[in-house]
Amino acid sequence: MSLISRTQDLADICARMSKHPYVTVDTEFLRETTFWPKACVIQIASEAEAVAIDALSEDMDLTPFFELMANPALVKVFHAARQDLEIIWHLAKIIPAPLFDTQVAAMVCGYGDQVSYGELAQSICKVTLDKSSRFTDWSRRPLSETQITYALADVTHLRDIYKSLNAQLEKTGRLSWLSDEMASLSSPATYEQHPDLAWQRFKNRARKPRDLALLMELCAWREREAQTKDVPRSRILKDDILIEIALAAPRTPEALGNLRAFPRGMERSRSGQEILVAIEHGLARDAKSLPAIERERRNMSGGATVELLKVLLRQVCERHGVAPKMIATVDDLEAIAQNDRAEVAALTGWRREIFGLKALELKKGRLALTVEKGKVVTLEWRDTASTEPEASN
């Protein structure tokens, strides 16, 4: 096991690994000073070997690695894959497939919400990972043996974690439960950063149509600037300042400069001028063309119903050994509380079968929650006056 820095070595290794049924993959990257993640080291392992790839080496062309990721006969195993996949998409415009994310699989197997790689290594492999290089600067060269060993541990133990979780899913017939999550992770739309959609991160901060219109224009401007300059969004303008500008709607450099948190002197710069142009564009938007402003669902739907749905969700998850986040979020529960036909995952597919239908029955008063021997159980109302509580494991 070692660090490779030449393209030919990578090509030879990828050729060998392509003959195996799966490979495990991880990346070490930096993002503190850039908009796009910067790949520094890429680790891959088959059942026979494991290597770390120096992605910053001048003698390294990552094409063989990307070809391996595009091989449809090979399962690509990641843990918490989203950021790794974002890097691969940004560099090569491909999404590895077929895909297996052990964090998602662990949620289906009852290990809890967003279980860490270290926790799975401890639970499944009975090893405690060395975290001494966790916050290392992966862009600095040369890399030490300690760093390389640390990096490789992220893919070597992943092999046993994958085999264990895959076996559990096959045994319980839940492999298909991963399909929705894997479909989302495998969609390029998940990783594409569209400036015109950047406002959605702040959609709950808009109190009226004018606020929303200005947020849409200002967020799009900041996103384009950050992507073009490849710097973090906060280097262009911090979130709280962006929101303050949208709510205040200043129309002159003086008014812009008088905002409490606005960077001193920026109102006279090119960026200041562009911010004022974005404000004018926002003020000119037709309110009828804007998306509807989302109000606090809890106030609209009644907190009591949502609280009951939370209890039901916990009961269902304990019974089936599934992490709650895998079935529904609080936003999903609030949407269900408002609308029996809410467009949420909890009301479709396998989630509907084990939770969604019960949630609707609870809303209609045809399902009750009670406590039996210290555990929450459900009582389903039938045609007869009496009913038996549903067992909860």
Q: What is the CATH number of the domain that holds 18?
A: 3.30.420.10
Tens of pLDDT, residue by residue over 154-202, are: 999 999 999 999 999 999 999 989 887 888 899 998 898 899 999 998 8
Long-range CB contacts for residues 90-97, cutoff 8 Å, separation at least 24: 90/36, 90/37, 90/191, 91/39, 91/62, 91/66, 92/62, 92/66, 93/188, 94/66, 94/69, 94/70, 95/185, 95/186, 95/187, 95/188, 95/191, 96/25, 96/69, 96/70, 97/70, 97/72, 97/186
Stretch among 70-74, 132-136, 349-353, 374-378 having the lowest mean pLDDT:
374-378
**Which tops the pLDDT comparison, 385 or 162?**
162
Q: Are residues 208 and 111 in the same domain?
A: no
Q: Are residues 238 and 375 in the same domain?
A: no
Stretch among 10-24, 64-78, 185-199 having the lowest mean pLDDT:
185-199
Q: Are residues 208 and 141 in the same domain?
A: no
Q: What is the mean pLDDT of residues 295-299?
A: 48
pLDDT at 289 over 80: yes
Which residues does residue 370 pair with via DSSP β-bridges, in sequence order? 377
pLDDT at 106 over 50: yes
What single-letter amino acid sits at 166? N
C-alpha–C-alpha distance, residues 214 and 288, integer Å: 14
Q: Are residues 76 and 185 in the same domain?
A: yes
Q: What is the mean pLDDT of residues 362-380?
A: 82
Tens of pLDDT, residue by residue over 209-232, are: 999 999 999 999 999 999 999 999
**Which tops the pLDDT comparison, 69 or 177?**
69
Average model confidence (pLDDT) across the chain: 91
What CATH number is given to the structural domain containing 248?
1.10.150.80
Closest C-alpha to 213, from 239, 249, 250, 240: 249
Domain-ending residue, one of 289, 312, 337: 289
Q: What is the mean pLDDT of residues 358-385?
A: 78
Q: Are residues 285 and 301 in the same domain?
A: no
Q: Which value, in Å, is the radius of gyration of the alpha carbons in the chain?
A: 25
Q: What is the mean pLDDT of residues 278-283?
A: 97
C-alpha–C-alpha distance, residues 40 and 268, integer Å: 38
**Which tops the pLDDT comparison, 17 or 176?**
17
Domain-ending residue, one of 263, 289, 315: 289
pLDDT at 384 over 70: no
CA distances 327 to 116, 331, 359, 376, Å, are 19, 12, 12, 18
For residue 180, what pLDDT is reported?
79
Q: Are residues 159 and 232 in the same domain?
A: no
Residue recorded with tokens 């808009």: 206
What single-letter amino acid sits at 318? E
Closest C-alpha to 25, from 190, 192, 159, 187: 159
Residues 6 or more apart whose CB falls under 8 angstroms from that of 147 comprise 133, 136, 138
Q: Are residues 150 and 47 in the same domain?
A: yes
pLDDT at 294 over 90: no
Q: What is the mean pLDDT of residues 60-76?
A: 98
Q: What is the mean pLDDT of residues 138-159?
A: 95
Stretch among 85-94, 128-137, 350-359 having the lowest mean pLDDT:
128-137
Domains identified in the chain, total number: 3
Domain-ending residue, one of 289, 310, 345: 289
- 3-state secondary structure labels for all residues of the chain: CEEECCHHHHHHHHHHHCCCCEEEEEEEEECCCCCCCEEEEEEEECCCCEEEEECCCCCCCCHHHHHHHCCCCCEEEECCCHHHHHHHHHHHCCCCCCEEEHHHHHHHCCCCCCCCHHHHHHHHHCCCCCCCCCCCCCCCCCCCHHHHHHHHHHHHHHHHHHHHHHHHHHHHCCHHHHHHHHHHHCCHHHCCCCHHHHHHHHHHHCCCHHHHHHHHHHHHHHHHHHHHHCCCHHHHCCHHHHHHHHHHCCCCHHHHHCCCCCCCCHHHCHHHHHHHHHHHHHHHCCHHHCCCCCCCHHHHHCHHHHHHHHHHHHHHHHHHCCCHHHHCCHHHHHHHHHCCCCCCHHHCHHHHHHHHHHHHHHHCCCEEEEEECCEEEEEECCCCCCCCEECCC
Residue recorded with tokens 């003020």: 283
Q: Are residues 145 and 270 in the same domain?
A: no
Q: Are residues 90 and 143 in the same domain?
A: yes
For residue 387, what pLDDT is reported?
43
Residue recorded with tokens 């401007």: 221
Q: What is the mean pLDDT of residues 122-150?
A: 92
What CATH number is given to the structural domain containing 356?
1.10.150
CB atoms within 10 A of CB 98: 14
Pairing of strands 75-78, 22-30: parallel
pLDDT at 301 over 70: no
pLDDT at 391 over 60: no
For residue 297, what pLDDT is reported?
43
Q: Are residues 62 and 152 in the same domain?
A: yes
Q: Are residues 239 and 112 in the same domain?
A: no
Tens of pLDDT, residue by residue over 80-95, are: 999 999 999 999 999 9
Residue recorded with tokens 């090569």: 92
For residue 382, what pLDDT is reported?
55
pLDDT at 1 over 60: no
pLDDT at 393 over 50: no
Measure the N-to-C terminal CA separation of the chain; round to a whole number of Å. 44
Distance of CA 363 to the CA centre of its chain: 30
Q: Are residues 281 and 351 in the same domain?
A: no
For residue 295, what pLDDT is reported?
59
C-alpha–C-alpha distance, residues 48 and 220, integer Å: 47
Give residue 307's domain range. 297-390
